[in-house]
Every structure is written in C-alpha cells, then in structure tokens.
Structure 1
C-alpha cells in the first residue's frame, strides 16, 4: 500500500499516504486532465482481483478516501491500458496482462467523473481473449482521437500469438473498432513507441508464454495505414520487456524474462532514419500555459512542433503515451509561434519532450517543457 511521489528535478522520492484500499499489485496509473491519477485493475494484498478505483489528488498530494472516489466495482484485469479521451473519459483498448478479457466486448469507455462511474462496452474488437500483452497506442496526433491495438496472445491458455491489429476513431458519436493491417509477424509482448516524425515503432515479442521470441520490427504510418519493416532488435524481448523514446529521438529496448527465470540486462537502441540527417534545433522554450500563444527560438525551416509525453511503461503497457501537435505560424529572426491547446484532457499537465520538425520531416533533439 506504500506510495511515493518522485521529483524529477531534485531526483528524490517523498512518501505520501498509503493507498486507501490496501496493497495493490499490477494496477495501471492513468493521468487525468486535472493532473490527478486514476489507479484501476491488478490484484489486492490477498492476490484477489482488485475492483477498487483509487484516485491520487495532485493538488492535495495524497490518495483520496475511497468514499470520495466514484466506484465501478469493475475488474479491469492486470495492467489494463486506459487512454484519456479529449472529453475526460477513459478508453480501455482491450490490452492487459495475463488471462482473458474482463468483459465479452473486450473494450470499454469509462467515465470517472460521474457520481456512479459508468463503464460502457465498445463493439468490434477482434480476438478479445488473445490480447494478453499486446500493445495499444493513441496514434499521433492525439487530436485525431484514433487508437491502434496490436497483437497479443493468451499465455494462461497457451494459445499462439496473433498478428491482428484493430483501429478505432474515438471522435465518433458511437465509436466501434475496424480491422487494421496485420503485423508483419504474430506476437505478444509487443511494444509500440510513438516517434517524433509521426510514425510508430513496433518491436519485440514472442509467440507463447515467456518463450519463442520473435525478432521483427516495423514502422506503422497512421496516414497510409501501413507497416514497413525495419532492422529487428537482435536481443530476445518477451516477458518483462519494454521500449520507450529517448530525448534524442532514438528508442531504448530492454528486458527479457524467459521461463528459466533469467533476466536480460542488455539494452538495445534503435536509431531511426533521421538520426543521420542534419537536424533542426529549438534554441529557446519555457513553461507553457493552457491556451497560450508561445514564441520559440529555432534553427531550420520548421513545419511542425510536437509534444511527446515521457514513458510510464511496464509490461508493454503505457497508458499515458501521447503525441500532441502544436499549430505553427511563422515568426521573425529565427523564431516561430505555436499555440498550446486549451483542453487539458488532450494535454494532461506535466513534463513533455518538445520536438520541432523541419519541412523535410527531420525532427530536432527534444527540449523539455512543462505544461500547466
């Protein structure tokens, strides 16, 4: 039940109050537009499925008593990936760790703000009981409201992994899943990482429970809806593996915990095409307020500026990964102007990596900015 707040500037942890529901194992933590954090899913201290919804109040710096948090008494599975929608609701894309889907539909929309929090099914997701340790990603830009779910399996059932992907547009009044293009290889334990050029790297994976590693990687283009193969990670990446974006635009991949109990400590780094190009730069940036108009110092002919939230990933699950485009207008003397969205549900408060992309599609190295 212990809980701590990490200060990334000071590099220190500060203890806060215990989780009100007691011990909590394998929950997902999803940041809200208010800056609060919702914890759902996982197991309690007795290894039973936890149906508690717990909320960390960012203003008070503490977990709220259970009576102050709307409850669904719904079991989300272990490490369920929930994505914050632009209207403040949370979307469950069907990806979790271990076992079957928590509902027959496999996918849900959850409103945490109602007095009695509601969970509604979302139709159309295929292979709902074969999404164990697949991946889901809020496609760039987040303003488009589109989610892609990739691969998965069912380790408990010993089933073969799948190559299926499914797409959904959450801006629709009645959103429903549509089939996407198959992955180049069937796999669970697949990681999906948004790159600053607007593509998504999928990497790692295995065919069965902690075994049969798959050495394959590709880039997904949300515009063309197509996967293009890239060099694969030479290391096995199955159970307890993950991948995440670094501020220079490369991707780190690490971990692997096969059935023999060993754990790989070898880190791989994927360097996208733009790492060998002459890159633009951002020479000045600051803390950004919602709805503000900002002036940035840049070098190069800049056509796009993007904010990418840093990783909060485990077991391939990263509920908070998102890429938000900032509208750009030309400035003077090596400057450009950008508009920061006013909607905190689109851009939850906190730190982001800001990338400027030139008109040839080459992104800068990131500068850290704080939103809110």
Structure 2
C-alpha cells in the first residue's frame, strides 16, 4: 500500500538503504510497461520493520526517469545517476544528472553530472577505493529523430564522490582474510581514534538497472591504540556467506579504502 505511480514500476531501480539492518528500501523512478512513453519522477520508501509496512514518497526527481543507476556508498549515502525519460533513451532523452540521497534526512543534493547518457542495460558498481564505475547502455536509436539504430555504449565513466576530495582519509590494513559470522576481526589503522562507523558492503552484481547483490551491513566495532576490531552479525539472512568490502569511516564521514573480507 501507498506505492505511487504503481503503473510505472518497470525500469525503476530498487536499493536497500544503508545500513541493511534497518530493512528500508528506496524505489527510484520507473516507466510504463514496454515501449510506453510514461516515466515517473517519484521515489518511494518502505520500512519493512514497521507494524504495517507501506510506501511513502521520498524526494522527487527533476523529471520522469527510467533506468536510474543506484549505488550504495560507504558513508551511507546512495548515488543516483543517469537514466532516460523515454524507453531506451528514445528521442535523445537520456538524463545527464546525478544526485546523492541521504537516508537520514530523506533529501537529494545534486553532484557532478555524468558525461555519457545511460539507459537500458546500464549499470554502476562501487569500487574498493570508494569511487563508482558506470558502464553500458543500449539505446534504441542513435539520433533524436529515430532514423538510425543505436549502438551499445562502450565508454566507462568513474565518479569520485565529494568525500574523496578531503585532505586525508583513514587507513585500514592487515587483519584476516576470512571471518565467521558472529566472530570478530582486528585490523590496523593509524586513525583508529577517529573511526565512527564500520560497514561490510557486498560487491555488486548489476544488470538491467538493478544491483541485485548490493547491501551495506553495519558492524559493531571497538578502537584501541592503532587497531580497530569489528564484529560480524550472526544473522545468516543479513550477512550471507561470501566476499565483502570492509570500510571504516572517520568523524568527517570519509571512508578508508576497502579491505576484502570473506565471511564464512
């Protein structure tokens, strides 16, 4: 219940808002079924931990957007970029805009815009250094008039979030390569005293707009001297077995480079 523009859910994007423990999901944009010209400016949020879960509207996009790419960042924001107004970018309708969504304030802020249009078959993934890679796009036509067939986009773009333009970032090194659910692991950091959060972020598996594997899991942690000890939750449904990127953020919200950790 509460889902706005329910007839325009095709080509929308869905992302589990960080941290995953909150069980809140953001649904962005979308369009009508098939070659419909309908597109939605809506974002919708649902809290699955509520007594009676229902969708509520979040901040609106500037225009109707199909195929928006969404990527969870290690500072708990979500990058929303690209897409098109019409089916597969028809009519030269790709949208060269990007914004960061803040789950804490339920707001967007505009950030550096992409240079390449992205629509059908596009994707984005978070890199271990905190940047985001954009790739793909399969436009229906190669011109606004729709007289030339489109070509699959082969250019790759790298987005550098604002947090990487600060003077420094926390370090994170050492530690084990594997850790069991419910267990703890200790890593070295010269900036341990300034660490404010730790996140396990699942590597991406992106196709048809949706990153079906991404999630950011909050970890309990303690800092002592030049070490940070993190504890992985016991819940198998929350933390599935496999590889994760471990990030720690300092008191300015700047993330470390990730350490790869395999959860057993």
| Contact 2:201–2:214 under 8 Å retained in 1 | yes
Give the number of the structure with larger relative contact order, counting CA–CA contacts within 8 Å between residues 6 or more apart. Answer: 2
Cα deviation digits, residues 136-173 of structure 1 (max 9, x gap): 11000011110010000125252321110111111123
Corresponding residue for 1:299?
Answer: 190
- Give me the whole-angstrom Cα distance separating, in 2, the residues matched to 1:294 and 1:138: 25
Aligned counterpart for 1:285 among listed residues 175, 183, 193: 175
Question: Aligned partners of 1:167, 1:256: CA distance in 2, in Å?
Answer: 27
Render the CA deviation track for 1:235-260: whole Å, top value 9, x for unaligned. 01011111111111101111121112
2:227 is aligned to 335
Q: Which segments of 5 or more consecutive residues in structure 2 lack a partner in the other structure? A: 141-148
CA distance in structure 1 between the aligned counterparts of 2:209 and 2:74, rounded to whole angstroms: 19
Name the SS of the counterpart of 1:283 in structure 2. coil
Query: CA separation in 2, counterparts of 1:129 and 1:160?
Result: 9
* 1:177 is aligned to 2:55: yes
Aligned match for 1:366, one of 248, 258, 262: 258
- Stretches of structure 1 that go unaligned for 5 or more consecutive residues are 1-122
Q: Which has the larger radius of gyration?
A: 1
Structure 2 counterpart of 1:188? 66
Question: Within the alignment, does 1:347 sit opposite 2:239 as a pair?
Answer: yes
Where does 1:1-372 land on structure 2 (aligned, <5 Å)? 123-154=1-32, 156-211=34-89, 212-259=93-140, 260-277=149-166, 278-286=168-176, 287-300=178-191, 301-331=194-224, 333-372=225-264
- Give the match's secondary structure for 2:234: coil
Distance between the aligned counterparts of 2:61 and 2:189, measured in 1? 37
Matches of 2:162 and 2:118 in 1, distance apart?
A: 22
Kept in 1, the 8 Å contact 2:12–2:67? The answer is yes
Q: CA RMSD in A?
A: 1.2
Query: Number of residue pairs matched?
Result: 249
Give 4+ residue runs of structure 1 displaced > 4 Å after superposition. Answer: none
